[in-house]
Amino acid sequence: MPGAAPESFQARLDRGPLLADGAMGTMLYARGVPFDQCFDALNVDRPDLVTAIHGEYIAAGAELIETNTFGANRFKLSLHGLEDRVRATNVAGAAAARAAREASGRWVWIAGSIGPIGRPLAPLGTVKAGEARQAFAAQAKALAEGGVDLLIFETFSDLHELTEGVAAAKEVTGLPIIAQMTFTHEGKTLLGHTPAEIVARLEELGVAVIGANCSVGSQGVLEVMEQMVLVSRTPLSAMPNAGFPAYVSGRIIYFSAPQYMADYARQMVELGVTVVGGCCGTTPEHIQAMREVLRTVESPPPPRLRPRVTVPAPPPVARPSPPTALAARLGRRFVLTVEVLPPRGTQEGPELEACQLLRQAGADTINVPDNPMARLRMSPWAMCLRIQTDVRMETVLHFTTRDRNLVRMQSDLLALHALGIRNILVLRGDPPQLGDYPSATAVSDVKPSGLIRLIKQFNEGHDLAGNDLGQATTFLVGAALNMGARDLDRELRVLEQKLRAGVDFLCTMPIFEPATLDRVLDRIGPLPVPLLVGILPLHGLRHAEFLHNEVPGMVIPSALRDAFRAAPRNGREVGLRFAEALVAAIRPRVQGLYLIPSFGRYDRVLHLVQTLRKETPAPTDP
């Protein structure tokens, strides 16, 4: 029976190549556990199954096995309602691995597996760095309590998140740490860090091993290792996927053969990599093939005390001058933009006719929402393109974070720019539960201020991963502001994040009395970007009560509702009169209006546009 470690982990690394295990999730899936089940919970519910898989890897020749705790942090466990089982899940995961080691009769190293929290950190996402650090600390502490020999942070795409995890683990344990990032086809992380940058940062943190896992298969990881080995003074690890997965006959299949991966393992060891193993799709057969190949490596790699290589920064991409007519008008004339909803079907004739009338009346742009209230409508892209092509009027596309992951978000931005849709209003989007398909899933990989930062990076000529776009985009990016928010303190904190991200203009949700604007400007003073205030002429008491009581973020003053009650037969006139008085009161202090018709009736906002343009005719654009 194995007892205490025969040597320190660092001493073992100094002796030469160390073979790790392969995928746990792949093996559980092969035994009938569906991917939508919480794999980590099996440590408690079916520990014998987890122990048996560990045993297969030990029998195949693995000298290091990883606990089944990749997603056992409170964020990921909360997706299964298990956030209160962090300690139990991780302690049980360590116990299952220890049981396999005891049963094998030989010493193997047990690495406590820690993966990302599954949500982007601020400023791109909503999770604060301190919250992530607390989650990592709780998991690392539980794994140490369970008796692991070291910790392995794996499959991280955000270097900032990984550094928070490593720092947290160092605060609560004294265990050695393997820290691994995952890389794209371009040999960078998703957020644009190069292998050399990863090495430099992780060496500052004093981890025991630096490496890459998952990523794009053996060849891609070898290319990353070729860059890391030039600059690293720390042992390296490589644990690639078994190629790309495919969905075949209802099963997810990986196609890299054991001998193929074993040959790359040999190349990596000969290059100077110390720890090799596998990630998704790898099995005990792959590990056994690696063991056989590594036995033929005649001597350990030479010391890798190589001079550091300075990676020059790419030359900056010059940003073109402001591209859109709206960009030229903001801050130079009083802007009028009108919201026009896409149709529920395929015929947009009435909406295009309304746009023609608004253009003739003097409106500057048309705002096109993206499935407001999460109710199905024609794609706003198509609507924007038809308006710009047929009506020859610029649009402002509402672009929500609700429906897109990071890849789709960037792809869509490139497509919009190619179509000539370049004024973007960034919104979170109404939750699906409000709309036609309440069971639909919201993605929300990033928060609005994070998307603003992403778009600004596009305007500098690079995607989120730092890849050159070939030419900088020329988006004008706006954001929403709810001046009537019930929690105004929180709304203003979010506003500050949007301003820091570089937003170009703000559109507010509708306000219904000057005091709403006064309250905000008294708190924060003049805004550094143009402010377009939302104006929605109400149709009567039922309309006002519905918005006030059923639509999130809408607050209708009691005085206005009382006015509707006093004139039940003249609701439309009362609503228009209040809107006109509101516009007159706030106009000197704002840079434009965002006019919002209701129920598809454009006569009221058309009247406001005509009245305002008669008072101040639109000047010629600069």
pLDDT, residue 317, reads: 45
**For the residues 440-458, what does the mean pLDDT come to?**
84
Reduced to 3 states (helix: H, G, I; strand: E, B; else coil), residue 555 is coil
For the ranges 13-27, 51-65, 137-151, 590-604, the lowest mean pLDDT is seen at: 590-604
pLDDT, residue 244, reads: 72
CA distance 60 to 73: 29
pLDDT, residue 251, reads: 60
Q: Looking at the predicted structure, is the pLDDT value of residue 46 above 50?
A: yes
Reduced to 3 states (helix: H, G, I; strand: E, B; else coil), residue 66 is strand
Q: How does pLDDT run across 364-395, given as a tens digit for each residue?
A: 999 999 887 667 888 999 999 999 999 999 99
- Residue-by-residue DSSP string for 402-413: TT--HHHHHHHH
Percent share of the chain, pLDDT over 90: 64
For the ranges 46-60, 310-324, 341-355, 358-372, the lowest mean pLDDT is seen at: 310-324
Q: Looking at the predicted structure, is the pLDDT value of residue 58 above 50?
A: yes
Phi/psi of residue 320, each to 5°? -65, 170
pLDDT, residue 474, reads: 93
For 4, what's the count of Cα atoms within 13 Å in the CB-facing half-sphere? 2
For the ranges 39-53, 96-110, 179-193, 264-278, the lowest mean pLDDT is seen at: 179-193
**How many of the other CB atoms lie within 10 Å of CB of 4?**
6
CATH class of the structural domain 334-615: alpha beta
Phi/psi of residue 64, each to 5°? -140, 125
pLDDT, residue 429, reads: 78
C-alpha distances in Å from residue 610, one per residue of 12, 394, 396, 602: 80, 18, 21, 12
pLDDT, residue 308, reads: 45
CA 205 to chain centroid, in Å, comes to 25
pLDDT, residue 131, reads: 94
The helix, strand and coil proportions of the chain, stated in percent and rounded to the nearest 5, come to 45, 15, 40
- The residue among 106, 17, 26, 566 whose CA lies nearest residue 300 is 17
Q: Looking at the predicted structure, is the pLDDT value of residue 409 above 80?
A: yes
**For the residues 308-337, what does the mean pLDDT come to?**
70
Buried/exposed 585-622: b ≥16 CB within 10 Å, e otherwise: ebbeebbbbbbbbbeeebebbbebbbebeeeeeeeeee
pLDDT, residue 135, reads: 97
Reduced to 3 states (helix: H, G, I; strand: E, B; else coil), residue 41 is helix
C-alpha distances in Å from residue 63, one per residue of 45, 54, 361, 427: 26, 11, 76, 50
pLDDT, residue 256, reads: 83
Give the H or E element holding residue 397.
strand 395-400
CA distance 40 to 73: 10
**For the residues 317-325, what does the mean pLDDT come to?**
62
Of residues 296 and 506, the one with the higher pLDDT is 506
CA distance 535 to 582: 8
* E-only strand ranges, 203-276: 209-214, 236-240, 245-248, 251-254, 275-276
pLDDT, residue 260, reads: 92
Q: Looking at the predicted structure, is the pLDDT value of residue 300 above 60?
A: no
Reduced to 3 states (helix: H, G, I; strand: E, B; else coil), residue 2 is coil
Q: Looking at the predicted structure, is the pLDDT value of residue 534 above 70?
A: yes
pLDDT, residue 554, reads: 78
The answer to whether residues 388 and 397 touch, using CB atoms and an 8 Å cutoff, is no
pLDDT band, very low/low/confident/very high, at 516 (cuts 50, 70, 90): very high
User: Taking the alpha carbons of 421, 363, 453, 377 in that order, is the dihedral positive or negative?
Assistant: negative
Q: Looking at the predicted structure, is the pLDDT value of residue 432 above 80?
A: no
**For the residues 206-233, what does the mean pLDDT come to?**
93
- Residue-by-residue DSSP string for 324-393: SHHHHHTTTS-EEEEE-PPPSSS--HHHHHHHHHHHHHT--EEEE-SSGGG---S-HHHHHHHIIIII--
pLDDT band, very low/low/confident/very high, at 230 (cuts 50, 70, 90): very high
Pick the CATH number of 9-294 from 3.40.50.1000, 1.10.645.10, 3.20.20.330, 3.90.1420.10: 3.20.20.330
**For the residues 336-352, what does the mean pLDDT come to?**
90
**For the residues 323-340, what does the mean pLDDT come to?**
92
**For the residues 38-61, what does the mean pLDDT come to?**
96
Percent share of the chain, pLDDT over 70: 90
Q: Looking at the predicted structure, is the pLDDT value of residue 314 above 50?
A: no
**How many of the other CB atoms lie within 10 Å of CB of 398?**
22
CA distance 368 to 342: 7
Reduced to 3 states (helix: H, G, I; strand: E, B; else coil), residue 39 is helix
pLDDT band, very low/low/confident/very high, at 506 (cuts 50, 70, 90): very high
Q: How does pLDDT run across 254-293, given as a tens digit for each residue?
A: 668 899 999 999 999 999 999 999 999 999 999 999 999 9
How would you class 240 by CB atoms within 10 Å of its CB: exposed for 0-12, middle for 13-18, buried for 19 or more? buried
**For the residues 516-527, what does the mean pLDDT come to?**
92
pLDDT, residue 440, reads: 67
- Locate the domains of the chain by residue range: 9-294, 334-615
The answer to whether residues 448 and 426 touch, using CB atoms and an 8 Å cutoff, is yes
pLDDT band, very low/low/confident/very high, at 436 (cuts 50, 70, 90): low
Domain 334-615 in the same topology as domain 9-294:
yes
pLDDT band, very low/low/confident/very high, at 433 (cuts 50, 70, 90): low
**For the residues 227-251, what does the mean pLDDT come to?**
83
Spatial CB neighbours of 10, under 8 Å, sequence gap ≥ 6: 176, 208
Q: How does pLDDT run across 78-131, given as a tens digit for each residue?
A: 999 999 999 999 999 999 999 999 999 999 999 999 999 988 888 788 889 999
